[in-house]
Amino acid sequence: MPATLACAGYRLALDRPRLMGVVNLSADSFSGDGCAGDASRAVERGLQLVEEGADILDLGAESSRPGAMPVSAEEELNRLLPVLEGLRGCGVPISVDTTKPQVMRAASRAGASMINDIRALEEPGAMEAAASSTVALCLMHMQGQPATMQLQPRYDDVVQQVFDYLSRRVAAAMAAGVARERLLVDPGFGFGKTLAHNLSLLRHLDRFAALGVPLLVGLSRKSMLGAITGQPVGERLAASVAAAMLAAQRGAAILRVHDVAATRDALAVWHALESGAEAVSEREAR
Ligand code: HH2
């Protein structure tokens, strides 16, 4: 598996789990942290996440939660471009969470380093738009469409079916001319999956290493954590950090999170344990 991810001008080292900080530009994000078209607030939030230890930022201008308002490409770009412009020099690569080829092209031209596509480049023209750039590409699995995906998700073997789908999408991207070192995959927690499906995927996450590309995982604040803990979306920090840790231990290379500082601290404890106490000074150890 590549030890680095090629993201346009950046190479992201994947020698330890990396944190992708979420910056939502929509008003209706399920996570409750949407910047609602306020570009300066979004830039501030992005800079704060970098300060807290984000290794990459993910800008999303269209919510994917069931019932969210669809957004035109024009509106998506109106929300995205000022924020991308404001964050371009912040020192970490910027990912854009989009499914639209027009947005992919404009975002790549404007300095994005990754396209994060919950439809795995299945929209007409998306594969061509992505392949003609040099950005990293995250291919995510989703069953159905956001509006209805949680009504009746069905699988015979969720882990095998998600694996096979991602394997086909990696092959399609490579056939379109995308180098393997630009690709990563995501099983898509909560995207057309019941709690049992999500738990199976998390339990068997290590199986996805056989795809030969890094794994990105987004569990932060998701409803599966609400179902397990009974907590509303604003009270899922502890569950989100625990889930991120479990995913990292099962091989996730990039963790997509809303709460960067808390996840960074949790990972630091794990890292210290893995790499030996030398990494921690006397003072820090007290
Ligand atoms: N989850 C969300 C959005 N984009 N992308 C990837 N690759 N993986 C995920 O799990 C994922 C994603 C949903 O989270 P959020 O962006 O906070 O919410 P919303 O889509 O409602 O804005």
- Cite the beta strand spans of the chain per DSSP E: 4-7, 10-13, 18-24, 56-60, 94-97, 114-117, 136-140, 183-186, 216-217, 254-257
pTM for the predicted model, two decimal places? 0.94
Using CB atoms within 10 A of its CB, is residue 273 exposed (0-12), middle (13-18) or buried (19+)? Answer: exposed
Does residue 71 line the site of ligand 1, with CB under 6 A?
no
With tokens 């990039």, the residue in question is: 254
The span from the CA of 20 to the CA of 59, in Å, is 10
62 neighbors 34 (Cβ within 8 angstroms): no
> For 3-15, b where at least 16 C-beta lie within 10 A, e where not — what string?
eebbbbebebebe
**Closest-CA residue to 59 (of 72, 51, 47):** 47
Q: Which of 5, 20, 30, 260 to mutate to test the pocket of ligand 1 (most atoms within 8 A of CB)?
A: 30
* Residue 285 pLDDT greater than 70, yes or no: no
Residue nearest to atom 9 of ligand 1 (CA): 218
DSSP 68: P
Catalytic residue (one of 119, 169, 256, 264): 256
Predicted pLDDT at 52: 98
What is the per-residue pLDDT across 77-119, written as a single tens digit (0 to 9) for each? 999 999 999 999 999 999 999 999 999 999 999 999 999 999 9
185 neighbors 254 (Cβ within 8 angstroms): no
The span from the CA of 49 to the CA of 41, in Å, is 12
Which atom from ligand 1 is nearest to the alpha carbon of 221? 17
What is the per-residue pLDDT across 34-55, written as a single tens digit (0 to 9) for each? 677 789 999 999 999 999 999 9
For the chain, give the number of residues: 286
